[in-house]
């Protein structure tokens, strides 16, 4: 759905005049317009990363399977092959969770558009915060294991301590990059939406009407 259609599905209150809480209809429409703009941008960003993350997940699985087949072709077997299979399972699990996380992020900014504006905003903000905390917690656990599986599977001949340290460092770097990206792209818009929600809550009795006539992008 394009941004214009997304705004239509969200809807705004169009009549003019004062409303409870000291806001005019025009002022409330401006608040709702900012919400639809922020949600549309976050939705577009999430859609991009969902597509990119899906391809990355597929590529990681294919590379992992291809590596195992190549190792088997070279004659690897027994306990050594079992270790490689375990490491491969870790990478496949990481790829699957990563792909799911991108799909879930896109859903968050799409699934509450039929609710009234304040309730939709509450649901969206709560879902995103829960998602961000949950995915960070999971990635904090599985990322070091996934990096370890990459280093160990590549057979660099490094010691356990060296691989462990490298895995922790790579995890830290990936978390910093993730935080910087979310801070630059998501957090500013999320804070703006929280501010908009407080303003809407100051006007009890006004809710957006989904699909209001005359709504424009």
Q: State the pLDDT confidence band at 45, using cuts at 50, 70 and 90.
A: confident
Within 10 A of 172 (CB to CB), how many other CB atoms are there? 12
Give the mean pLDDT of the chain: 75
- Ordered alpha helix ranges (H), the chain: 3-10, 25-73, 78-108, 117-153, 160-182, 188-201
Q: In the Cβ-directed half-sphere of 11, how many Cα atoms lie within 13 Å? A: 19
DSSP H or E run through 23? strand 23-24
Mean pLDDT, residues 162-190 taken together: 90
Residue 214 has pLDDT above 50, yes or no: no
Q: What is the pLDDT of residue 85?
A: 76
Percent of the chain with pLDDT over 70: 71
Those residues with Cβ within 8 angstroms of residue 206's Cβ, 6 or more apart along the chain or in another chain:
13, 19, 20, 21, 23, 28, 200
pLDDT digits (tens, 9 = 90+) for 81-118: 677 777 788 888 888 898 899 999 989 888 876 555 67
Name the pTM for this structure.
Answer: 0.70
CA dist., res. 29 & res. 36, Å (int) = 10
Mean pLDDT, residues 166-171 taken together: 91
Least confident of 115-129, 133-147, 150-164, 200-214: 200-214
pLDDT digits (tens, 9 = 90+) for 18-28: 444 445 667 77
Q: What is the pLDDT of residue 1?
A: 46
Strand bridging mode 18-19 / 23-24: antiparallel
CA dist., res. 207 & res. 210, Å (int) = 9
Q: What is the pLDDT of residue 179?
A: 92
**Residue 105 contacts residue 196 (beta carbons within 8 Å):** no
């Amino acid at each position: 759905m394009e941004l214009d259609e997304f705004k239509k599905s969200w809807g705004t209150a169009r009549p003019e005049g004062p409303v409870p809480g000291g806001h005019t209809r025009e002022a409330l429409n401006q608040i709702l317009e900012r919400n639809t703009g922020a949600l549309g941008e976050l939705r577009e960003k999430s859609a991009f990363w969902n597509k990119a993350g899906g391809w990355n997940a597929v590529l990681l699985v294919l590379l992992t399977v291809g590596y195992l087949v190549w190792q088997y072709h070279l004659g690897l077997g027994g306990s050594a092959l079992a270790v490689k299979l375990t490491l491969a399972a870790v990478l496949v699990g990481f790829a699957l969770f990563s792909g799911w996380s991108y799909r879930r992020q896109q859903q968050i900014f799409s699934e509450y558009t039929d609710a009234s504006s304040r309730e939709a905003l509450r649901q969206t903000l709560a879902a995103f915060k829960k998602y961000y905390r949950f995915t960070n917690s999971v990635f904090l656990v599985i990322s070091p294991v996934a990096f370890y599986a990459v280093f160990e599977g590549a057979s660099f001949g490094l010691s356990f301590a060296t691989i462990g340290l490298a895995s922790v460092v790579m995890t830290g770097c990936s978390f910093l990059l993730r935080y910087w990206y979310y801070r630059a792209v998501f957090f500013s818009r999320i804070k703006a939406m929280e501010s908009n929600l407080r303003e809407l809550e100051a006007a009890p009795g006004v809710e957006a009407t989904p699909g209001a006539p005359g709504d424009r992008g």
